[in-house]
């Protein structure tokens, strides 16, 4: 089986169109079709890496260096869920969108069923014991959350995690750790806080 045939087979397994794959790797659909048909026999190494990542595969498999079959999963274990590679956001430049290129520090892989759009590295112990210093928290982008939910909020150009409580005349951002004071904004000052999304998952080293 050729590299192009393996690309097509893996794409079909994921129910992914050539157009979708092309968008993920920043190529034209015509180029993807040419790779799959063998019109272009040698796929450049850097492009092959991008295609393999988009197809949840490896360059070695697409090149035919790995066997098609995988060893059986031992009893008592579950296969890893499908994962997405999403940006980790750091310090936010004033006035720029949270997912602007200059705000992206790294990338993390999280389960696809979290429907996360970006991650934040938790610094400090304001959300202890639920979220610890050094935890990576996955966020689903949405402009509002239910009262009491943990959300990524933007305050003074910096993203932070807090429990959000929104009222008609004020907004409260509460830390999980009771030793930290509640952040309160009243009236027009409520506009200084932007809800960027809901916390949907936690990545922690053991």
| pLDDT reported for residue 102 | 77
Q: For the sheet containing 83-89, what is the strand order?
A: 104-111, 83-89, 118-121, 136-141, 193-203, 150-155, 158-166, 170-174, 183-186
Q: For the structural domain made of 84-203, what CATH number should be given?
A: 2.10.109.10
pLDDT at 145 over 90: yes
Residue whose token pair is 């409260």: 172
Where is average pLDDT lowest: 42-46, 64-68, 169-173? 64-68
Which whole number is the average pLDDT over 87-100? 73
pTM of the model: 0.60
Task: Give yes or no for a contact between 125 and 102, defined as CB atoms under 8 angstroms apart.
Answer: no
Among 53-57, 61-65, 120-124, 187-191, the range scoring the smallest mean pLDDT is 61-65
pLDDT at 104: 87
Percentage of the chain exceeding pLDDT 90: 53
Burial, 153: exposed, middle or buried (Cβ in 10 Å; 0-12, 13-18, 19+)? buried
Select from 201, 205, 115, 118 the least CA-distant residue to 154.
Answer: 118
Q: Between residues 156 and 63, which one has the greater pLDDT?
A: 63
**Whole-number Cα distances in Å, 140 to 15, 89, 90, 116, 187:** 24, 13, 16, 4, 27
Same fold, 3-62 and 84-203: no
- 155 touches 193 (CB < 8 A): yes
- Average pLDDT for 126-153: 93
- CATH code of the domain occupying 3-62: 1.10.260.40
Residue 168 reports pLDDT greater than 70: yes
User: What is the Cβ-side half-sphere exposure of residue 8, based on CA atoms within 13 angstroms?
Assistant: 14
Sequence-distant (≥ 6) Cβ neighbours of residue 137 within 8 angstroms: 119, 120, 122, 131, 150, 152, 161, 199, 201, 202, 203
Pairing of strands 150-155, 158-166: antiparallel
Query: Which residues form the catalytic set?
Result: 126, 162
Band of residue 69 on the pLDDT scale cut at 50, 70, 90:
very low
Q: What does the pLDDT average to over 59-66?
A: 81
Q: Where are the domains of the chain?
A: 3-62, 84-203
* Nearest to 65, CA basis, from 6, 22, 12: 6
**Mean pLDDT of all residues in 12-22:** 91
pLDDT for 94 beyond 60: no
* CA 115/CA 138 separation, integer angstroms: 9
């Amino acid at each position: 089986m050729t590299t192009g045939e393996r690309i097509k087979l893996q794409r079909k397994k994921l129910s992914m169109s050539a157009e979708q794959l092309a968008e993920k790797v920043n190529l034209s659909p015509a180029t993807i079709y040419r790779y799959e048909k063998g019109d272009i026999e040698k796929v450049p190494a850097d492009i092959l890496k991008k295609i393999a990542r988009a197809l949840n595969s490896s360059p070695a498999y697409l090149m035919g260096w790995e066997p098609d079959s995988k060893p059986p999963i031992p009893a008592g274990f579950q296969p890893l869920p499908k994962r997405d590679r999403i940006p980790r956001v750091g310090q936010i430049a004033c006035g720029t969108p949270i997912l602007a290129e200059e705000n992206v520090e790294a990338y993390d892989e999280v389960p696809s069923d979290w429907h996360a759009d970006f991650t934040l590295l938790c610094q400090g112990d304001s959300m202890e014991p639920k979220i610890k210093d050094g935890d990576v928290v996955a966020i689903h982008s949405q402009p509002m959350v239910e009262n009491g939910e943990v959300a990524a909020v933007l305050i003074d150009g910096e993203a932070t995690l807090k429990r959000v409580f929104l009222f008609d005349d004020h907004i409260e951002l509460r830390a999980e750790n009771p030793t930290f004071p509640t952040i309160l904004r009243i009236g027009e000052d409520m506009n200084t806080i932007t809800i960027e999304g809901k916390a949907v998952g936690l990545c922690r080293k053991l």
